[in-house]
Chains A and B, each alone.
Chain A
Amino acid sequence: MKKLENRGASAPLLAALAAGTAFFALTLTAPAYAQSNTPIKIGVIAEATAVAGSSIPQAAQLAADEINAAGGVNGRKIEIVSYDNHSSAAESVRAFQRAATQDHVNAVITSYISEVVLALEPWAGRLKMVTVTPGAASDVITQNIAKDYDHLKYMFHGYATSTSIADATCAAAKDLLVGQLHMKTAVVMSEDAAWTTPLDAEYLKCLPQIGIKVIDHIRFSPDTTDFTPIFNKIEGEKPDVIMTGVSHVGVQPTVQWKQQEVPIPMFGVSSQATNSSFWNDTNGATEGVLFQGFSAPDVAVTPKTLPFVQAFSKRFGHTPSYCGYTAYDEVYYIADAIKRAGSVDPDKLVTAMEQTDFVGTIGRVQFKGKDTPNPHALKIGPETISGLMLQWQNGKQVNLWPAKVANGKVKFPSFIKVGAAN
């Protein structure tokens, strides 16, 4: 039997522990500060440590500050309440519940990850909370609204669906790849994720329509780190171009593409390539990569684009990611909808949001109606939002398409062999 010894000295420690626990209990249960003429609260649930996601709360705050400086919404100020979801759907759900029931927000702006938005969509319905996404692309988000409009009408898709992104990419490919470079074959290479399923399906449809034959379709796990086998396989098939669909990865495939000197250009969707830090992150390996976007630091898509970029850069020290532009616009048109509805009642807000006709930083924002296959999706096209096709050249993002806002020409690094079907 071991010797037992009393330790009287632990009494002060116990007292400290008890006091500490009581203190915590008190801070946690402090009742919410009740006010009338309360500020309008917009909850922002985003991936604050991800390069793309960090711009969402930042841009939202910028918009809120600008609106408040101009007098707010009918005298009420806008307050941004921010939550970091660590790229997790479950954490987003908890944050959403907290935002609705504890912090009493009037609307939520959330996430560029489709799976997160899809996890929150039913909760937007259950808790009757107007929710807008600034960056997720999955078509399923709006298809769900069509299937159950009455419950899910609170959801708005503030970014292009994968299908319309694929269409915008094909439109650019028609001019640049077929028209200028006479390309004929492609391999589609994308990460296995919810947003790429409709993207790839649309690629497979629209590419043949512009004269490019798809000779293979590769989907890889989003946590792939070694892309050598994939590039080797693609090279063996000798396509003229690699059509990409990547977002969760970006740095690694790009760096390895350059190191291996794969002689085939990459064209398509690469969300990380839209970040201004991407050049540094890849140590310049991204030279020559072509990527679809709706915004770029030096392109005046609308009169509001460049002033926003300048204000953002000045305040945060770097240019905004692609979802920063949309998050900024969202705060503005949510505020506008509240003003037009004259109330923050969720159902009235939905009706006002559906009537949005707002010129933002990426184009003219209008939502598709409830009787379309994708209600509450953004209208994409030359009259509303057309998108851009960008290329990294010498540390800068140069826009190549559409012609009226182009500020450069296609240029490839020396190891790329274009045109000649190697």
Chain B
Amino acid sequence: MQIPTARLLLIGLGAIVLASFLPLWASGYILGLLTIAYYFGVFAMAWDLLFGFAGEVNFGPTFLIGVGAYTAGILDNLYQPPIWLCIAAGTAAAITGGLVLALPALRLRGPYFGLTTLVAVLILQNLIVVDAHLTGGEIGLTVPDVISISDTTNYLIALWFMAISGAILFSLSRSPVGLILQASGQDAVQAGALGFNVTKHKLTAFVISAFFSGLAGTLMVFYLGSASVGTFIDITVGVQIIISAVLGGRRTILGAVLGAIFLIAMSEALRPLGDLSNFIVFGMALIVVLIYPNGFFGLLTRTREDV
């Protein structure tokens, strides 16, 4: 029982419009939190496109995000061009990175693809730490410009960016292209036998995923005013993105946003516990993975597939 596309989009639009009024009564802190959550939502949606549909587990979504974020940040540090130029450059870099990674990696089967993505993240992390003069190394990079210091402006930018990205990604998932992707993901041989160019479609999915991940990454850099391995690249961040998508529900795109908001909100709510907060959040995620692998959306649509 799949909720019809039109209805979901309408509900989504309603939620976004409502959320736009939040700055009227919520504090700057809440807005800041949700801003980060919205960007994470985009990361998670981009990941879900790849995994949920193309069936490719990307263990290093942060490779694409990191390439985009750091390219934009370093460019700004070195030459101080206008922000939109840095953002464009960062996104282009992410797409290039995605192509470089995907072209050979898509030839690999099974766990090797996932491992390649993981190795890509490690290499990026090493490069950043070693080139500390350029990148700020382990502790981080500060960029001189930010998009805005107003909480409301940043919040609205993030909200509508997420809304538009979500609409595009979601429509894609329900479109014929999306169905082909899903078929390729579940049974590549059959899809190929039916005449679809599986590799070309997966590559397209990869590039789209890279575009949104990179763009969201650069926007986040110019929101925070800094970039660091711990915010954009570390495996922990990648895991948080994957968890958001899984928690929300694989193959739903929109569920990823719910998952992201839940994850960020929980981490903050548990902040007083210090490091233990991460432990608890990941613990909860582990329980969900073990017991309710279909996530929130899976629960909401109240179906169970008999294996």
What are the residues of chain B within 8 A of A84 when measuring CB–CB?
274-275
Contact of B30 with A101 in the complex, beta carbons under 8 Å: no
The contact of A14 among B30, B138, B300, by CB within 8 Å, is: B300
Contact of A27 with B269 in the complex, beta carbons under 8 Å: yes
Complex CA distance for A28 and B231, rounded to whole angstroms: 23
Given contacts A90-B230, A101-B28, A102-B28, contact A122 B142 (CB under 8 A): yes
Question: From B133, which residue of chain A is reached at the shortest CB distance?
Answer: A192
Contact of A115 with B265 in the complex, beta carbons under 8 Å: no
B123 located at the interface, meaning its Cβ lies under 8 Å from any Cβ of chain A in the complex: no
A217 located at the interface, meaning its Cβ lies under 8 Å from any Cβ of chain B in the complex: no
Taking the closest CB of chain B, its distance from the CB of A125, in whole angstroms, is 10
The contact of B32 among A97, A119, A122, by CB within 8 Å, is: A97
Question: From A3, which residue of chain B is reached at the shortest CB distance?
Answer: B306
A93 located at the interface, meaning its Cβ lies under 8 Å from any Cβ of chain B in the complex: yes
Give the interface size bracket for A toward B. 35 or more
What are the residues of chain A within 8 A of B289 when measuring CB–CB?
none
Complex CA distance for A373 and B299, rounded to whole angstroms: 63
Taking the closest CB of chain B, its distance from the CB of A54, in whole angstroms, is 11
Given contacts A24-B265, A24-B269, A102-B27, contact A119 B303 (CB under 8 A): no
Query: Could you say which of B83-91, B92-100, B211-219, B221-229 contacts chain A?
Result: B221-229
Contact of A192 with B299 in the complex, beta carbons under 8 Å: no
What are the residues of chain A within 8 A of B304 when measuring CB–CB?
4-5, 7
B187 located at the interface, meaning its Cβ lies under 8 Å from any Cβ of chain A in the complex: no
The contact of A6 among B27, B33, B303, by CB within 8 Å, is: B303
A344 located at the interface, meaning its Cβ lies under 8 Å from any Cβ of chain B in the complex: no
Complex CA distance for A146 and B29, rounded to whole angstroms: 31
Taking the closest CB of chain A, its distance from the CB of B36, in whole angstroms, is 8
Contact of A4 with B139 in the complex, beta carbons under 8 Å: no
What are the residues of chain B within 8 A of A94 when measuring CB–CB?
32, 36, 224
Question: From A127, which residue of chain B is reached at the shortest CB distance?
Answer: B149
Give the interface size bracket for B toward A. 35 or more
Taking the closest CB of chain A, its distance from the CB of B122, in whole angstroms, is 13
What are the residues of chain B within 8 A of A86 when measuring CB–CB?
230, 275
Complex CA distance for A123 and B223, rounded to whole angstroms: 12
Complex CA distance for A234 and B198, rounded to whole angstroms: 57
Contact of B231 with A7 in the complex, beta carbons under 8 Å: no
The contact of B230 among A7, A14, A88, A97, by CB within 8 Å, is: A88
A13 located at the interface, meaning its Cβ lies under 8 Å from any Cβ of chain B in the complex: yes
Complex CA distance for A91 and B224, rounded to whole angstroms: 9
What are the residues of chain B within 8 A of A89 when measuring CB–CB?
136, 139-142, 226, 228
Given contacts A6-B303, A221-B129, contact A192 B137 (CB under 8 A): yes
Given contacts A32-B27, A94-B32, A222-B138, contact A88 B129 (CB under 8 A): no
Complex CA distance for A119 and B144, rounded to whole angstroms: 10
Question: From A192, which residue of chain B is reached at the shortest CB distance?
Answer: B132
Contact of B302 with A49 in the complex, beta carbons under 8 Å: no
Contact of A115 with B140 in the complex, beta carbons under 8 Å: yes
Contact of B29 with A7 in the complex, beta carbons under 8 Å: no
A317 located at the interface, meaning its Cβ lies under 8 Å from any Cβ of chain B in the complex: no
Complex CA distance for A252 and B138, rounded to whole angstroms: 18
Complex CA distance for A86 and B262, rounded to whole angstroms: 21
Interface string of B137-180 (1 = CB under 8 A from A): 11111101010010100000000000000000000000000000
Query: What are the 10 closest A-B residue pairs judged by CB atoms, nearest first?
Result: A102-B29, A89-B140, A115-B139, A101-B28, A90-B231, A88-B230, A119-B142, A90-B228, A119-B226, A3-B306
Provide 10 A-B residue pairs closer than 8 Å at the C-beta atoms, listed in order of the A residue.
Answer: A4-B1, A24-B265, A28-B269, A32-B27, A86-B275, A90-B230, A115-B139, A118-B142, A222-B132, A222-B137
Interface residues of A (CB under 8 A from B): 2-8, 10, 13-14, 17, 21, 24, 27-29, 31-32, 48-49, 84, 86-91, 93-94, 97-98, 101-103, 113, 115-116, 118-119, 122-123, 126-127, 192-194, 221-223, 248
| Beyond A89-B228, A103-B29, 6 additional pairs, beta carbon < 8 A | A5-B306, A84-B275, A87-B230, A98-B32, A101-B32, A115-B136
